Amino acid sequence: MHSNQSYIEVNVKFLFGLEKGLPLKNRQTNIKISQPFTVQHLIEVLEKMYPKLKENIRYKGEFVPYLNIVVNGCEILPIQARNKELREGDQIVLMYVGVGG
Partner 1 sequence: MSKYSAYCGKLLRVNLTSGVITEENLQDDVLEKYIGCNGLGAYYLYKETPKGVDPLGEDNKLIFFTGPLTGTIFPSAPKIGIFSKSPLTNGFMDSYAGGHFGAELKFAGYDGLIVEGKSEKPVYLWINDGHIELCDASKYWGKSTTETREAIKKDLEEPLIRIAVIGPAGEKLVNYSCIMVDGTHAAGRGGLGAVMGAKNLKAIAIKGTKNSIKVANKEKAMEIVESLFEEIRTNKVLSTGLPTYGTTGATMANNSTGILGTRNWQTEVFENAENISNVELADKLFEKTLSCYQCPVRCVHYCKIKEGKYSGLETMKPQYETVYSFGSLCGISDPNVIAKANHVCNETGLDTISAGVSIAFIMECFEKGILKEEDLDGIKAEFGNSDALIELLEKVAAKEGIGEFVGLGTKIMSEKLGQGTHKFAINIKGLELAGHSVRGYKGMSLGYAVSPRGGSHQDMRHIPERSGQFDRRTIKDKEQLVHDIMSTTVIRDTFTYCAMIEGNIGRVGLSDKHVKIINAICGFEFDVEDLQKIADRIINLERCFNVREGMDRKDDILPERFMTEPIPEGPSAGMYTPKEELDEMLDKYYELRGWDQNGVPLAETIRNLNLDDIVKQPI
| Binding range to partner 1, per CB under 8 A, among 9-17, 35-43, 46-54 | 9-17
For partner 1, give the closer residue by CB, 23 or 73.
73
Calculate the alpha carbon distances from 71 to 4, 85, 101 in Å.
22, 10, 25
Residue 58 near residue 65, CB atoms below 8 Å: no
Residue selected from 27, 41, 52, 54 as contacting partner 1 according to rule CB under 8 A: 27
**CB–CB of 37/2 below 8 Å?**
yes
Where along the sequence are the contacts to partner 1 (CB under 8 A)?
A: 13, 15-17, 19-20, 26-27, 56, 59, 64, 66, 68-70, 72-77, 80, 93, 95-101
